[in-house]
A and B are shown apart, each in its own frame.
Chain A
Protein backbone atom coordinates (compact mmCIF):
# COMPACT_ATOMS: atom_id res chain seq x y z
CA UNK A 1 0.00 0.00 0.00
CA UNK A 2 2.73 2.38 1.07
CA UNK A 3 4.80 1.27 -1.91
CA UNK A 4 1.89 1.92 -4.28
CA UNK A 5 1.45 5.40 -2.92
CA UNK A 6 5.15 6.03 -3.22
CA UNK A 7 5.16 4.90 -6.84
CA UNK A 8 2.15 7.04 -7.61
CA UNK A 9 3.88 10.02 -6.00
CA UNK A 10 7.04 9.45 -8.03
CA UNK A 11 5.03 9.19 -11.25
CA UNK A 12 3.25 12.47 -10.47
CA UNK A 13 6.58 14.15 -9.71
CA UNK A 14 7.96 12.88 -13.02
CA UNK A 15 4.98 14.23 -14.93
CA UNK A 16 5.30 17.53 -13.08
CA UNK A 17 8.99 17.83 -13.96
CA UNK A 18 8.23 17.00 -17.61
CA UNK A 19 5.62 19.70 -17.72
CA UNK A 20 8.07 22.11 -16.11
CA UNK A 21 10.69 21.32 -18.77
CA UNK A 22 8.14 21.80 -21.56
CA UNK A 23 7.05 25.13 -20.10
CA UNK A 24 10.68 26.22 -19.83
CA UNK A 25 11.33 25.43 -23.49
CA UNK A 26 8.19 27.25 -24.51
CA UNK A 27 9.06 30.28 -22.43
CA UNK A 28 12.59 30.43 -23.81
CA UNK A 29 11.25 30.09 -27.31
CA UNK A 30 8.72 32.88 -26.84
CA UNK A 31 11.33 35.03 -25.16
CA UNK A 32 13.80 34.62 -28.01
CA UNK A 33 11.03 35.24 -30.54
CA UNK A 34 10.12 38.48 -28.81
CA UNK A 35 13.76 39.52 -28.67
CA UNK A 36 14.18 38.68 -32.36
CA UNK A 37 11.28 40.90 -33.40
CA UNK A 38 12.37 43.73 -31.09
CA UNK A 39 15.90 43.68 -32.45
CA UNK A 40 14.66 43.62 -36.04
CA UNK A 41 12.64 46.72 -35.31
CA UNK A 42 15.72 48.34 -33.80
CA UNK A 43 17.75 47.30 -36.85
CA UNK A 44 15.23 48.94 -39.19
CA UNK A 45 15.59 52.21 -37.28
CA UNK A 46 19.38 52.04 -37.28
CA UNK A 47 19.49 51.26 -41.00
CA UNK A 48 17.09 54.13 -41.74
CA UNK A 49 19.38 56.47 -39.87
CA UNK A 50 22.38 55.14 -41.77
CA UNK A 51 20.65 55.58 -45.12
CA UNK A 52 19.70 59.13 -44.27
CA UNK A 53 23.24 59.98 -43.21
CA UNK A 54 24.63 58.40 -46.35
CA UNK A 55 22.22 60.44 -48.46
CA UNK A 56 23.27 63.58 -46.58
CA UNK A 57 26.92 62.75 -47.20
CA UNK A 58 26.18 62.23 -50.89
CA UNK A 59 24.44 65.59 -50.99
CA UNK A 60 27.39 67.29 -49.29
CA UNK A 61 30.20 65.55 -51.17
CA UNK A 62 28.52 65.07 -54.52
CA UNK A 63 27.16 61.97 -56.19
CA UNK A 64 30.40 61.37 -58.09
CA UNK A 65 32.32 60.92 -54.84
CA UNK A 66 29.95 58.38 -53.36
CA UNK A 67 29.06 55.76 -55.90
CA UNK A 68 29.69 52.13 -56.62
CA UNK A 69 32.57 52.77 -59.00
CA UNK A 70 34.73 53.56 -55.99
CA UNK A 71 34.10 50.26 -54.24
CA UNK A 72 37.41 48.65 -53.48
CA UNK A 73 37.85 45.60 -55.66
CA UNK A 74 41.49 45.11 -54.83
CA UNK A 75 42.31 42.01 -52.85
CA UNK A 76 41.73 42.76 -49.19
CA UNK A 77 40.51 40.95 -46.11
CA UNK A 78 37.48 42.05 -44.18
CA UNK A 79 38.42 44.33 -41.31
CA UNK A 80 35.30 43.31 -39.43
CA UNK A 81 34.69 39.60 -39.02
CA UNK A 82 32.99 37.09 -36.77
CA UNK A 83 34.14 34.57 -34.28
CA UNK A 84 32.01 31.44 -34.13
CA UNK A 85 32.12 29.36 -31.00
CA UNK A 86 30.09 26.49 -29.69
CA UNK A 87 27.60 26.86 -26.89
CA UNK A 88 26.24 23.86 -25.02
CA UNK A 89 22.47 23.92 -24.80
CA UNK A 90 22.31 20.56 -23.09
CA UNK A 91 24.23 17.31 -23.09
CA UNK A 92 22.87 16.30 -26.49
CA UNK A 93 22.84 19.59 -28.30
CA UNK A 94 24.99 22.58 -28.99
CA UNK A 95 24.44 25.69 -31.01
CA UNK A 96 26.75 28.25 -32.59
CA UNK A 97 27.38 31.62 -31.00
CA UNK A 98 28.57 34.62 -32.97
CA UNK A 99 30.83 37.36 -31.69
CA UNK A 100 31.63 40.42 -33.72
CA UNK A 101 35.28 41.34 -34.15
CA UNK A 102 35.35 44.95 -35.27
CA UNK A 103 38.31 46.44 -37.06
CA UNK A 104 40.62 43.52 -36.42
CA UNK A 105 43.90 44.45 -38.08
CA UNK A 106 46.59 41.95 -39.02
CA UNK A 107 49.19 44.42 -37.78
CA UNK A 108 48.07 44.24 -34.20
CA UNK A 109 49.20 40.75 -33.28
CA UNK A 110 47.69 39.18 -30.19
CA UNK A 111 45.41 41.23 -28.05
CA UNK A 112 43.61 40.66 -24.84
CA UNK A 113 40.05 39.52 -25.04
CA UNK A 114 38.81 42.59 -23.27
CA UNK A 115 35.31 42.32 -21.94
CA UNK A 116 33.82 38.88 -22.25
CA UNK A 117 30.18 38.44 -21.41
CA UNK A 118 28.99 35.08 -20.21
CA UNK A 119 26.03 33.56 -21.88
CA UNK A 120 23.41 31.71 -19.97
CA UNK A 121 20.03 30.75 -21.28
CA UNK A 122 17.91 33.02 -19.15
CA UNK A 123 14.66 34.79 -19.71
CA UNK A 124 14.80 38.42 -20.66
CA UNK A 125 13.27 40.98 -18.41
CA UNK A 126 11.74 44.03 -19.99
CA UNK A 127 12.86 47.30 -18.56
CA UNK A 128 13.53 50.83 -19.76
CA UNK A 129 16.83 49.83 -21.24
CA UNK A 130 15.42 47.72 -24.00
CA UNK A 131 18.34 45.52 -24.71
CA UNK A 132 19.77 45.02 -21.24
CA UNK A 133 19.51 41.49 -19.95
CA UNK A 134 19.24 40.09 -23.45
CA UNK A 135 21.40 37.08 -24.09
CA UNK A 136 24.79 38.54 -24.87
CA UNK A 137 28.04 37.32 -26.30
CA UNK A 138 28.98 33.79 -25.43
CA UNK A 139 31.81 32.50 -23.33
CA UNK A 140 34.79 32.11 -25.62
CA UNK A 141 36.78 28.97 -25.94
CA UNK A 142 40.48 28.54 -26.01
CA UNK A 143 40.81 27.72 -29.72
CA UNK A 144 40.97 31.25 -31.10
CA UNK A 145 43.71 33.84 -31.53
CA UNK A 146 44.21 37.34 -32.79
CA UNK A 147 40.83 38.35 -31.45
CA UNK A 148 39.46 41.18 -29.35
CA UNK A 149 36.10 42.64 -28.58
CA UNK A 150 35.53 46.21 -29.69
CA UNK A 151 34.91 47.67 -26.24
CA UNK A 152 36.23 51.19 -25.87
CA UNK A 153 36.52 51.00 -22.07
CA UNK A 154 38.59 47.81 -22.04
CA UNK A 155 41.38 48.67 -24.46
CA UNK A 156 44.95 47.62 -23.91
CA UNK A 157 47.98 48.47 -25.98
CA UNK A 158 49.18 46.37 -28.87
CA UNK A 159 52.65 44.99 -29.07
CA UNK A 160 53.82 48.14 -30.82
CA UNK A 161 52.39 50.21 -27.99
CA UNK A 162 49.67 51.78 -30.12
CA UNK A 163 46.45 52.15 -28.17
CA UNK A 164 43.69 50.06 -29.64
CA UNK A 165 41.36 53.03 -29.75
CA UNK A 166 43.79 54.62 -32.18
CA UNK A 167 44.00 51.41 -34.20
CA UNK A 168 40.20 51.38 -34.47
CA UNK A 169 40.26 54.96 -35.74
CA UNK A 170 42.98 54.09 -38.25
CA UNK A 171 40.94 51.19 -39.57
CA UNK A 172 37.85 53.34 -39.79
CA UNK A 173 39.77 56.00 -41.67
CA UNK A 174 41.12 53.40 -44.07
CA UNK A 175 37.60 52.30 -44.82
CA UNK A 176 36.51 55.89 -45.39
CA UNK A 177 39.51 56.67 -47.56
CA UNK A 178 37.83 54.86 -50.47
CA UNK A 179 35.74 58.00 -50.82
CA UNK A 180 38.63 60.43 -50.58
CA UNK A 181 40.83 62.03 -47.95
CA UNK A 182 38.40 64.67 -46.76
CA UNK A 183 34.97 63.24 -46.18
CA UNK A 184 31.80 64.71 -44.84
CA UNK A 185 31.07 64.23 -41.11
CA UNK A 186 27.80 62.69 -42.26
CA UNK A 187 29.73 59.89 -43.91
CA UNK A 188 31.51 59.22 -40.63
CA UNK A 189 28.15 59.20 -38.86
CA UNK A 190 26.82 56.79 -41.46
CA UNK A 191 29.79 54.54 -40.80
CA UNK A 192 29.03 54.51 -37.09
CA UNK A 193 25.36 53.81 -37.76
CA UNK A 194 26.19 50.81 -39.88
CA UNK A 195 28.62 49.59 -37.25
CA UNK A 196 25.76 49.72 -34.76
CA UNK A 197 23.59 47.88 -37.26
CA UNK A 198 26.26 45.18 -37.47
CA UNK A 199 26.26 44.77 -33.70
CA UNK A 200 22.50 44.45 -33.75
CA UNK A 201 22.71 41.90 -36.54
CA UNK A 202 25.09 39.72 -34.55
CA UNK A 203 22.68 39.83 -31.61
CA UNK A 204 19.89 38.92 -34.00
CA UNK A 205 21.94 36.02 -35.33
CA UNK A 206 22.48 34.68 -31.79
CA UNK A 207 18.80 35.01 -30.97
CA UNK A 208 17.99 33.42 -34.32
CA UNK A 209 19.96 30.28 -33.46
CA UNK A 210 18.47 30.17 -29.95
CA UNK A 211 15.00 30.59 -31.37
CA UNK A 212 15.50 27.79 -33.88
CA UNK A 213 16.91 25.52 -31.20
CA UNK A 214 13.99 26.18 -28.84
CA UNK A 215 11.55 25.83 -31.72
CA UNK A 216 12.89 22.35 -32.43
CA UNK A 217 12.60 21.42 -28.76
CA UNK A 218 9.03 22.65 -28.53
CA UNK A 219 8.15 20.91 -31.76
CA UNK A 220 9.65 17.68 -30.45
CA UNK A 221 7.74 17.95 -27.20
CA UNK A 222 4.49 18.60 -29.01
CA UNK A 223 5.03 15.57 -31.22
CA UNK A 224 5.74 13.43 -28.15
CA UNK A 225 2.59 14.70 -26.51
CA UNK A 226 0.49 14.00 -29.57
CA UNK A 227 2.16 10.64 -30.17
Chain B
Protein backbone atom coordinates (compact mmCIF):
# COMPACT_ATOMS: atom_id res chain seq x y z
CA UNK B 1 0.00 0.00 0.00
CA UNK B 2 2.93 2.32 0.75
CA UNK B 3 4.20 2.11 -2.83
CA UNK B 4 0.90 2.87 -4.59
CA UNK B 5 1.21 5.69 -7.11
CA UNK B 6 -0.68 8.76 -5.97
CA UNK B 7 -3.65 9.83 -8.06
CA UNK B 8 -4.23 13.55 -8.19
CA UNK B 9 -7.84 14.03 -7.06
CA UNK B 10 -9.76 17.24 -7.57
CA UNK B 11 -13.14 18.61 -6.63
CA UNK B 12 -13.33 20.79 -9.70
CA UNK B 13 -11.08 20.26 -12.70
CA UNK B 14 -11.22 21.67 -16.21
CA UNK B 15 -11.43 20.20 -19.66
CA UNK B 16 -8.88 21.67 -22.07
CA UNK B 17 -9.30 21.65 -25.82
CA UNK B 18 -7.02 21.92 -28.89
CA UNK B 19 -8.88 22.14 -32.20
CA UNK B 20 -8.11 22.73 -35.82
CA UNK B 21 -9.90 25.43 -37.79
CA UNK B 22 -12.66 24.21 -40.03
CA UNK B 23 -11.24 25.03 -43.44
CA UNK B 24 -14.22 25.83 -45.55
CA UNK B 25 -15.22 28.74 -47.72
CA UNK B 26 -18.08 29.53 -45.35
CA UNK B 27 -15.70 29.75 -42.38
CA UNK B 28 -13.22 31.97 -44.17
CA UNK B 29 -15.82 34.55 -45.11
CA UNK B 30 -17.22 34.85 -41.63
CA UNK B 31 -14.11 34.63 -39.50
CA UNK B 32 -11.67 37.38 -38.86
CA UNK B 33 -8.03 36.32 -38.92
CA UNK B 34 -6.91 38.13 -35.76
CA UNK B 35 -9.13 36.23 -33.37
CA UNK B 36 -7.34 32.95 -33.91
CA UNK B 37 -3.96 34.36 -32.94
CA UNK B 38 -4.71 34.29 -29.27
CA UNK B 39 -7.25 31.55 -28.98
CA UNK B 40 -5.97 28.36 -27.56
CA UNK B 41 -8.39 25.57 -27.81
CA UNK B 42 -9.13 21.95 -27.95
CA UNK B 43 -7.96 19.98 -30.75
CA UNK B 44 -11.11 20.15 -32.79
CA UNK B 45 -12.60 22.33 -35.41
CA UNK B 46 -13.83 25.79 -34.60
CA UNK B 47 -17.44 24.65 -34.49
CA UNK B 48 -16.53 21.96 -32.00
CA UNK B 49 -14.86 24.58 -29.83
CA UNK B 50 -17.93 26.81 -29.96
CA UNK B 51 -20.13 23.84 -29.24
CA UNK B 52 -18.22 22.87 -26.13
CA UNK B 53 -18.09 26.48 -25.02
CA UNK B 54 -21.88 26.47 -25.26
CA UNK B 55 -21.80 23.42 -23.01
CA UNK B 56 -19.95 25.52 -20.44
CA UNK B 57 -16.38 24.21 -20.47
CA UNK B 58 -14.72 27.49 -21.42
CA UNK B 59 -12.52 28.99 -18.74
CA UNK B 60 -10.59 32.26 -18.73
CA UNK B 61 -8.40 32.86 -15.70
CA UNK B 62 -7.17 36.10 -14.17
CA UNK B 63 -4.19 36.13 -16.52
CA UNK B 64 -6.63 35.95 -19.45
CA UNK B 65 -5.39 32.46 -20.22
CA UNK B 66 -7.97 30.21 -21.78
CA UNK B 67 -8.27 26.46 -21.57
CA UNK B 68 -8.59 26.10 -25.31
CA UNK B 69 -6.57 26.54 -28.50
CA UNK B 70 -7.78 26.78 -32.07
CA UNK B 71 -5.17 25.61 -34.54
CA UNK B 72 -5.30 27.34 -37.92
CA UNK B 73 -3.02 27.51 -40.93
CA UNK B 74 -0.78 30.06 -39.20
CA UNK B 75 -0.32 28.00 -36.06
CA UNK B 76 3.12 26.45 -35.87
CA UNK B 77 3.98 23.02 -34.55
CA UNK B 78 5.91 24.71 -31.75
CA UNK B 79 2.81 26.61 -30.66
CA UNK B 80 0.76 23.42 -30.61
CA UNK B 81 3.47 21.65 -28.65
CA UNK B 82 3.71 24.51 -26.17
CA UNK B 83 -0.04 24.51 -25.68
CA UNK B 84 -0.10 20.74 -25.21
CA UNK B 85 2.73 20.90 -22.69
CA UNK B 86 1.03 23.71 -20.84
CA UNK B 87 -2.31 21.92 -20.64
CA UNK B 88 -0.73 18.66 -19.52
CA UNK B 89 1.28 20.37 -16.82
CA UNK B 90 -1.55 22.46 -15.36
CA UNK B 91 -2.91 21.13 -12.09
CA UNK B 92 -6.46 22.24 -12.79
CA UNK B 93 -6.91 20.33 -16.04
CA UNK B 94 -8.12 16.75 -15.88
CA UNK B 95 -8.95 15.98 -19.52
CA UNK B 96 -7.37 17.31 -22.70
CA UNK B 97 -9.49 16.95 -25.81
CA UNK B 98 -7.43 17.07 -28.99
CA UNK B 99 -8.63 16.48 -32.49
CA UNK B 100 -6.86 13.53 -34.01
CA UNK B 101 -5.68 15.59 -36.96
CA UNK B 102 -3.75 17.94 -34.69
CA UNK B 103 -2.59 15.07 -32.51
CA UNK B 104 -0.95 13.54 -35.57
CA UNK B 105 1.09 16.72 -35.97
CA UNK B 106 2.53 16.32 -32.49
CA UNK B 107 2.24 12.53 -32.36
CA UNK B 108 5.54 12.01 -30.58
CA UNK B 109 4.51 14.33 -27.77
CA UNK B 110 1.06 12.79 -27.43
CA UNK B 111 2.42 9.25 -27.39
CA UNK B 112 5.02 10.10 -24.79
CA UNK B 113 2.38 11.31 -22.34
CA UNK B 114 1.91 8.45 -19.91
CA UNK B 115 0.34 10.07 -16.86
CA UNK B 116 -3.21 9.12 -15.90
CA UNK B 117 -4.12 12.78 -15.44
CA UNK B 118 -4.80 14.64 -17.54
CA UNK B 119 -6.39 12.05 -19.78
CA UNK B 120 -5.66 12.74 -23.45
CA UNK B 121 -8.64 11.97 -25.66
CA UNK B 122 -8.37 12.12 -29.43
CA UNK B 123 -11.61 13.07 -31.05
CA UNK B 124 -12.81 13.64 -34.60
CA UNK B 125 -13.12 16.99 -36.31
CA UNK B 126 -15.43 18.03 -39.11
CA UNK B 127 -12.88 17.55 -41.84
CA UNK B 128 -11.09 14.57 -40.34
CA UNK B 129 -13.13 11.69 -38.98
CA UNK B 130 -11.76 9.53 -36.21
CA UNK B 131 -9.40 6.76 -37.28
CA UNK B 132 -8.83 4.07 -34.61
CA UNK B 133 -5.60 3.02 -36.29
CA UNK B 134 -4.03 6.38 -35.46
CA UNK B 135 -5.22 6.55 -31.86
CA UNK B 136 -2.31 6.65 -29.42
CA UNK B 137 -3.65 4.01 -27.05
CA UNK B 138 -4.99 1.66 -29.69
CA UNK B 139 -1.75 1.72 -31.65
CA UNK B 140 0.11 0.73 -28.48
CA UNK B 141 -2.26 -2.19 -28.05
CA UNK B 142 -1.80 -3.17 -31.67
CA UNK B 143 1.97 -3.09 -31.26
CA UNK B 144 1.76 -5.28 -28.20
CA UNK B 145 -0.40 -7.83 -29.96
CA UNK B 146 1.87 -7.91 -33.00
CA UNK B 147 5.01 -8.28 -30.84
CA UNK B 148 3.42 -11.13 -28.91
CA UNK B 149 2.35 -12.95 -32.04
CA UNK B 150 5.89 -12.69 -33.46
CA UNK B 151 7.37 -13.91 -30.17
CA UNK B 152 5.00 -16.86 -29.97
CA UNK B 153 5.79 -17.81 -33.60
CA UNK B 154 9.47 -17.88 -32.77
CA UNK B 155 8.82 -20.16 -29.79
State the A residues within 8 Å of B (CB).
Answer: 33, 36-37, 40, 43-44, 47, 50-51, 54-55, 58, 63-64, 66-69, 71-86, 91-96, 98, 101-104, 141, 143-147, 171-172, 175-176, 178, 187, 190-191, 193-195, 197-198, 201-202, 204-205, 208-209, 211-212, 215, 219, 222, 226
CB distance from B8 to the nearest CB of A (A): 7
25 residue pairs A–B, Cβ–Cβ below 8 Å: A43-B124, A44-B129, A55-B47, A63-B26, A71-B58, A74-B60, A75-B60, A80-B57, A81-B14, A81-B15, A82-B94, A83-B10, A84-B7, A84-B94, A95-B7, A98-B94, A102-B56, A146-B11, A175-B56, A176-B54, A191-B55, A197-B52, A201-B123, A208-B119, A208-B121
Residues of B within 8 A of A201 (CB): 15, 95, 97, 121, 123
Report whether A211 and B4 are in contact in the complex, using a CB–CB cutoff of 8 Å: no
Residues of B within 8 A of A75 (CB): 60-62, 64
State the B residues within 8 Å of A (CB).
Answer: 1, 3-5, 7-15, 26, 29-32, 35-36, 39, 45-48, 50-62, 64, 66-67, 70, 94-95, 97, 116-117, 119, 121, 123-124, 126, 129-130, 132, 137-138, 140-141, 144, 148, 151
